[in-house]
Structure 1
């Protein structure tokens, strides 16, 4: 990987597996459960100067990343509930770059950190109660025309949280903020 790709994908790109053993899914669940705490510990006391710093040239600011993660994980939570209550529901995609330009992305990160903490508590409660069979329940993603199992959703969002955490953490290391 070149330097730009390392900055964009500090833990590599997400690669879906053919299947997810139940033990691995529980590890993904643990990562999802702890993510809001870790993110809050990292950025919760940062001032505007740090929050408004892009994590890479041409990339979103830390503030935008935090708000994006809240939006993305809220969508994942709703999609999880749809997959559990409907037969292969078609989910609604959204344009994350356009969302990042909306006025709420200029707010303090505090509301998004609170959303993440509270919503993850609910999401993890639902996910932790699922059987191996329920983890295979899919939704249909129209952008890539694929069915996505809840086990894959857990893997993806465990990766997604760490992916964005590392964007911010690596920025903090480069700037000697940690």
Structure 2
């Protein structure tokens, strides 16, 4: 069953590619507000985040309420792979979202209720996680639009 959030997730890679295909280094370095991540960092961050989300959902589908790892997003953004061309992350995101979308479209109603747990004990149902990652992609897409329109 195709859900709205599935469509949002499936179209994110092409929307990001369209937005960024002709950007030069100067535009990729633009930020949406003072002390925020730039367009390049946002693209790399989305991939990091959605890779983690995909793995969390797969863990929830294969283990009972697994405890998942968190990560320090701001520290990851300082790693050297954030200097790579955005094309590298856009290609990865396209493949990741193709797999993620296929997985999501084939989940059953009971599977959508499965959970994973953060180290602090809070739980996330797969259906909540889908909504979160749909929102997350759109949220940072809007940040990039703001940065590019400044």
Interval of TM-score (by shorter of Structure 1 and Structure 2): over 0.9
Structure 2 SS opposite 1:148:
strand
Higher relative contact order (CA 8 A, sep 6+): 2
Is 1:53 equivalent to 2:30 in the alignment? Answer: yes
Q: In 1, Cα distance between the equivalents of 2:7 and 2:139? A: 16
Aligned residues: 150
Q: TM-score, length-normalised on structure 2?
A: 0.96
**What is the aligned-residue RMSD (CA, Å)?**
1.2
Name the residue aligned to 2:127. 151
Residue of structure 2 aligned with 1:132, choices 109, 127, 132? 109
1:115-170 CA distances to partner (integer Å, 9 max, x unpaired)? 10000000111111001111000000124x21100000011011000000000112
Deviation, structure 1 residue 45: 2.0
Unaligned runs of 5+ in 2: none
More helix by share: 2
> Which residue does 1:164 correspond to in 2?
140
* Structure 1 counterpart of 2:55: 78
With normalisation by structure 1, the TM-score equals 0.81
Unaligned runs of 5+ in 1: 1-21
